[in-house]
Amino acid sequence: MKHISTTLAYGRGIPMIYTSLKRRLQAGALAAALTAGALLAAPGTAAAEAAPGRQPAAASAQTAAGLLPAGSADRSAAAQAAQARLDALFPPVGSALVAAGGGEWNEAAADLATFAGLWGEAKTQADSAHAGLAGEVDAALEAASSALAAGGGPAARQALSTLAGAVDAYASAAAAPGGEETAAAGPKAAAGLLPAAGQARDAARAADWDAAEAAYRSLVDGWAPVERAVRQDNAAVYGQLETKMSLLRIALQAEPVRAEAALAEAEALRGLLESYSKGLKPSAAETEVSRAAAASIEGLIGHLDQAITDAEAGRAAEAAASVERFIADWPSVEGRVQISSPSAYTRLENESAEAAGYLLSDPPKLDRALATMKTMRDELTPLSGEARYTFWDAALVLLREGLEAILVLAAMLAFARRSGRPRAARWVWSGAAAGLAASLALASGLTLLVASAAAGGAREAIEGYVGLAAVVMMLAVGRWLHGKSGTAAWNRYVGSRMEGALAGGSLWTVFGVTLLAVLREGAETAIFYAGMAPSMDLSQMLLGIVLALALLGAAGYAILALSARLPIGAFFRTAALLIYYLVFRFLGESIHALQVAGHAPAHVSDSLPVVGWLGLYPTWETAIPQAALLLLLFGESLLRRRAERARRTAADASQARSLDPGA
């Protein structure tokens, strides 16, 4: 029992474990459960040493205390075994936190190794519905292992706390009836933080900074298990809460404490939690600020560069302002950092608050602040180079789709003229205009849908799902283009469509055929741009559109007015190659966006490259589908070439027979 006080003082993840255990209590078993939890967490006790890893003693202690869910005795053996695997995850994490609180880093590492073995077994039996939560445990475990391997310290304590929260979230979801996650919705989860936030505010009003620091620690302990629910419900609120908690920590850690700032941040934090827990949404201005803060890693590095420049010149206040801008932008970027490097993510969260605290101390600790900020910059720099589309990408997409629409229009006008029905040409033009208008309406609606969904907290998720839709569409379009890459094939395709329309005798049919042909190109363009927009500056997209429209205007005049001929085969082959490049890139970036949003697992590997312009990221979940795509495209190419050779051989044989009747 000697470690219980240490647990409460230093083990920031232990309250999460107590919370998880208490959810399993039967009525009237609270005291017994907390006693069992303390025994399980305390190294050196009989319960802890009953067997290697303490797991058997842990499971029996939990059963004796009534910690297993009601009715577990009636479950199947498989269900009981699954529950036992979940329950066995908590003791080694709690023990590692206790050891870390006492500075016993070797013991913490041993406990973490025990957990890793148990987690490997539990994960193999996991439901695929919980893959996202399992990925979070994997990332947190990697970060904790790296921090302990580096010698421990505050970063290791924070990493272990994060791991405890991830384990709690996973176990809660896996233990839910029917396998569905029962974590509280964002507002309900935020309501549970109100008491700690109120204590921090009251302590700041009374200038009781020890009590304020204790309340802040309780607030952080409660935040870790619920932040995922808040982020998924409303990203704007999540970002504001993260920022206000960081600024409160900075004010409390400054030497001396920045009393006015601490009180202001504590009151603002409590007010935001109260409003959000009551279901109130951020104001339009706050939402716009959050949306505008869809910052990049390069932007964070820019804040650090400015802060370092100011600190080297002795301008501590200006440097602190730059660090606070870093902290405000961090929630928009942290998911990408966490996927790319879980260990860097954990360190950066701590270092940003430390740097601001050094700068705001009286007198400022410039040397320490500079060292910390330079370390942060070094950690972020390898993660920069995020995937960004340029105006050339935007121009090529519209140019390809636009040229295809012009070719369709030219072919239909030619058939209309040859049909001897001059009025048909007017209906072709009318159908094209209607198709263009419908395409613009579709693009506007899709843009508004994506924007409203992103403002509601699902920016990365929407980006990922829209991108995957674009991948499916582009694959279908690419295969269609290959089938039309010959002039004869293209003429047969257009001819069959127009001949059918004109044979029907209805000019409305001509109008409808043209409208649908143009609308198809417009719909493809809208989907492509929706997938590109989150990773592209608006100015770049507009520049690309203007450039493409200028080129399309010249091409359209040459084809429609001057009857110029384009090399259709070369055009379609080039267009197909462009599409396959976009498919490969969209696939990687879309899965990456879903990982950032927590909708897909992420297993990071140092052996995988990071190439932004190709959509390559260091996770197996992105690399394997991209490799499979390359194999699919290569296989299709081989089959297509074989079919073409067979067709040519048959044609040559037929021609030879026609030239030699006696053969």
Give 362-404 pLDDT, tens digit per residue.
888 999 999 999 999 988 887 765 556 778 878 877 887 788 7
First to last CA, the chain: 101
| Packed helices 55-64 and 90-101: angle between N→C axes, nearest 10 degrees | 110
Q: Can you give the pLDDT at residue 534? A: 65
Per the DSSP assignment, residues forming a β-bridge with 611 are 616
Name the residue among 355, 246, 353 with its Cα closest to residue 308. 355
Q: Can you give the pLDDT at residue 618? A: 80
Helices (H), 151-296: 154-174, 186-191, 194-205, 209-233, 235-253, 259-277, 284-292
Name the residue among 286, 369, 379 with its Cα closest to residue 341. 379
Task: Give the global pTM.
Answer: 0.45
Q: Can you give the pLDDT at residue 154? A: 78
SS3 at position 422? coil
The DSSP element (H or E) to which 472 belongs, if any, is helix 459-483
Q: Can you give the pLDDT at residue 185? A: 59
Residues with Cβ within 8 Å of residue 12, at least 6 apart in sequence: 97, 157, 158, 161, 217, 220, 221, 224
The CATH code for residues 185-383 is 1.20.1420
What does each C-alpha distance from 471 to 441, 592, 627 come to in angstroms? Answer: 22, 14, 15
Q: Can you give the pLDDT at residue 307? A: 93
Name the residue among 176, 5, 8, 20 with its Cα closest to residue 90. 20
- Domain 82-175 class, CATH top level: mainly alpha
Is residue 466 within 8 A of residue 530, CB to CB? The reply is yes
Parse the chain into domains and list their residue ranges: 82-175, 185-383, 391-582
Residue 267 CA to residue 269 CA, distance in Å, equals: 5
Q: Which residues of 550-578 are buried (b: 16+ CB within 10 A; e: fewer)?
A: eebeebbeebeeeeeeeebeebbeebbeb
What does each C-alpha distance from 387 to 332, 398, 451, 576, 617 come to in angstroms? Answer: 15, 20, 20, 22, 10
Q: Can you give the pLDDT at residue 178? A: 40
Q: Can you give the pLDDT at residue 662? A: 57
Q: Can you give the pLDDT at residue 498? A: 62
Q: Can you give the pLDDT at residue 371? A: 93
Q: Can you give the pLDDT at residue 60? A: 37
Residue 380 CA to residue 543 CA, distance in Å, equals: 30
Residue 351 CA to residue 303 CA, distance in Å, equals: 14
Residues of the chain with confidence (pLDDT) below 50 = 1-76, 176-184, 284-294, 455-457, 485-487
